[in-house]
Structure 1
Amino acid sequence: MDDLTRRIAAILRQPQLAGLATITEDGKPWVRYVMTVASRDMVIRCATFVEARKVRQIEKNPEVHLTCGVTDPHEMVPYLQIQGRARLDTSREARHGFWTSMLAKIFDGPDDPKYGVLEITPYRIEYCDVAAPEPQVWTAG
C-alpha cells in the first residue's frame, strides 16, 4: 500500500459524518448527511432505509459523490472528495456485518426489513490538504 492510499484509508476507516450526493430523477444533484465507515478494501458503507429517496436515486443512477474527513470544523485537516458507484445490499451478511448498537435507535435490529446497507465503491479519490494548492488523486486500479 503506497503512502497516499494509507493516508486515505486512515480517514475512511473512522466512523464519520459525510455528505453524500446522488442525482435526482430530474437530473439534479442532492446532498444529505450519512454516517460512513470503510473496510480495508476501501468500500464505504452506511446504513439506510430500504425505501429511502437516495436508494431510488441510486437504483436509477449509481454514480455518487462523497465528501468526508473533517470531524471538527475548528481543525484544518485533510479531507476527501470521492467519486464512486453505490448499491444497496440487503443480504443478511451485509446487515449483520454492519450492525452497531447505535442503529438500534432507528431500526428494530439487523433483520428489520426496513434496514439496508449502502455500499459505495470509490474509483477516484482526491486527498485535499489545506497546505497544498492541488489535491493528490487516487484512482482504482
Structure 2
Amino acid sequence: MRDSSMKEKVLKVITEHRTGVLSSVENNKPHSRYMTFYNDNLTLYTPTKRDTEKIEEIEKNPSVSVLLGYEKQGQNDSYVEISGTSILNDSPKVKQQYWNKSFEQWFEGPEDPNYVFLEIKPETVRILNLNGEPPQELNLEN
C-alpha cells in the first residue's frame, strides 16, 4: 500500500475514534488510561490537568504509546498504534482550538492555568486489522 493511501486510512481511524488509550511510563512500567484525542496531521493532542501524575511521568520519560479504534465488535475493527514522544503544551491557541463545553466539569474555561494538553509527536504509526491484512507501518519521513 502506498504511504499516502495508508496515511488516509490511519487518519480515518484517528478521526472517527476520539477516545483511546494513552500509555506512559511509571517506575519503568506501562501506565495506561483512557483519554480523548484530537488530531492535527498525525500529531495528537489530549487535554489534561497540569497537576496530574501523567504530567510527572512524561517529564521523567516522554515515551508514550496510543491506541485508537477497535470500538465495535472488535473482530473486524481497524485500529491504530502510535508510538512517540509527548510534551506539555499550554499554548493559548491550542487551548482555545480544542476547548469543548464538556470540559467545564474540570476546568473554568480555556484560560484556566490547570487546563493543558499533552502533545504527542508520532515516531511509529501502525495500522492493524485492516481488512484481514497484516499490520502495516506508515513511513513518517515522507
Q: Extract unaligned runs of 5+ from structure 2.
A: none
Could you say which residue in structure 1 is the equivalent of 2:58? 58
Percent identity over paired residues: 23
Cα distance in structure 2, aligned partners of 1:74 and 1:104: 32
Moved more, 67-76 or 49-58: 67-76
Could you say which residue in structure 2 is the equivalent of 1:103? 103
Q: How many residues align?
A: 139
Compared CA separation, residues 105 and 72, structure 1 to 2 (3 A): farther
Counterpart AA for 2:35 = V
Q: Is contact 2:17–2:69 with CA below 8 Å preserved after alignment?
A: no
Q: Is contact 1:123–1:139 with CA below 8 Å preserved after alignment?
A: no
1:76 shift after superposition: 2.5
Could you say which residue in structure 2 is the equivalent of 1:44? 44
Could you say which residue in structure 2 is the equivalent of 1:70? 70
* Structure 1 residues 88-126: Cα deviation after superposition (integer angstroms, max 9, x where no partner): 111211211111112112211001111101111111111
1:42 shift after superposition: 1.1
Q: Does 1:91 find its partner at 2:106?
A: no
Cα distance in structure 1, aligned partners of 2:114 and 2:66: 23
Name the SS of the counterpart of 2:31 in structure 1. strand
Name the SS of the counterpart of 1:13 in structure 2. helix
1:2 shift after superposition: 1.0
* Structure 1 residues 25-65: Cα deviation after superposition (integer angstroms, max 9, x where no partner): x21110011011212x2111110001111111111111100
Compared CA separation, residues 126 and 60, structure 1 to 2 (3 A): same
Compared CA separation, residues 117 and 15, structure 1 to 2 (3 A): farther
Compared CA separation, residues 78 and 28, structure 1 to 2 (3 A): same
Q: Normalising to structure 2: TM-score of the pair? A: 0.89
Moved more, 130-139 or 95-104: 130-139
